[in-house]
Structure 1
Amino acid sequence: MPLARISVSQETTAEALRAISDTVYESMVTVANVPANDKFQILSRHAKGELVYPEQGFLGVNYSDNIVFIQITWNEGRSTEVKKAFYRAIADGIQAKTGLRKEDIIINLVEVQRENWSFGNGDMPFAPV
């Protein structure tokens, strides 16, 4: 039940954005055990200066104007090992498909309880019992 928000530079091509989107979804399914067809994403392009990052770098990583921000809200409960493998699959996949640098792939997970989702009609499909 993830919701992914993917923010890129307005210079990012449609093909590259599609590859990023597909890589995030494929990594969810193959690494994080997300059900097939559970693909909810918000893709956003931003003008120069709207994606802000530390020009001096952070934690030994230096960034470029090709930075990609990926924020995923999903259910809590996945292990640290799964999360590490998930981050790696996304970074490796995006680099392989687009040529973007792994250093420019920022990923943030927001974990929520299952009852915090409604997929339409105002229904709570995973209400606590």
Structure 2
Amino acid sequence: MPIVHIYLLEGKPQTYLQALGDSIHQALMETWGLPEKDRFQIFHEEKAEHFKIDHFAYLEGEGVQRSDDVIMIQITTSPRTIQMKRAFYKRLPDLLKDSIGLSPANVFINVMMTDEEDWSLGIGKTTLIEKLE
């Protein structure tokens, strides 16, 4: 049950945001085996003065040239393998290029892993542990 925070500049139409969220969830279902109904996404639309992502300075030699369309995706999740994370990192930019025309250089992803006991999804239970018992 990952929680996905999506940061981007304000002003995109709802259809763009919907396609963005759909693509992220599709990539998670394909690469992490998430169920269709395991979708927890929070969109953070920021004013330009509150969203400072360098376009060229960092990793310029790696061919990463971002534009103002850059999105930052931060995922908090229970443990995932490096293979799962790499598959997600590879799949998502392809889906976003097809769905909203986003350049792969504009897809910035950060995955933060937690332990299973760090999750309570309601009613006071350590859901990921108690569900398994």
**What TM-score do the two structures reach when normalised by structure 1?**
0.90
- Structure 1 residue 50: Cα displacement: 1.7
Q: Give the superposed CA RMSD.
A: 1.6
> Structure 1 residues 79 and 26 mapped into 2: Cα distance closer, same or farther (>3 Å)?
same
- Structure 1 residue 23: Cα displacement: 0.9
* 3-state SS of 1:49 partner: helix
Is 1:112 paired with 2:114? Answer: yes
Unaligned runs of 5+ in 2: none
Q: Using the alignment, how far apart are the partners of 2:120 and 2:82 within structure 1?
A: 27
Name the counterpart of 1:83: 85
* 3-state SS of 2:117 partner: helix
Which amino acid is 2:114 matched to? V
> Structure 1 residues 35 and 115 mapped into 2: Cα distance closer, same or farther (>3 Å)?
farther
Name the counterpart of 1:53: 53
Picking from 80, 99, 102, the partner of 2:101 is: 99
Q: How much identity, in percent, do the aligned residues show?
A: 27
Is 1:70 paired with 2:73? Answer: yes
4+ runs of 1 displaced by more than 4 Å? none
Which amino acid is 1:65 matched to? D
Unaligned runs of 5+ in 1: none
> Structure 1 residues 99 and 38 mapped into 2: Cα distance closer, same or farther (>3 Å)?
same
**What TM-score do the two structures reach when normalised by structure 2?**
0.87
Which amino acid is 2:97 matched to? Q
- Which structure is higher in helix share? 2
Q: Using the alignment, how far apart are the partners of 2:35 and 2:42 within structure 1?
A: 18
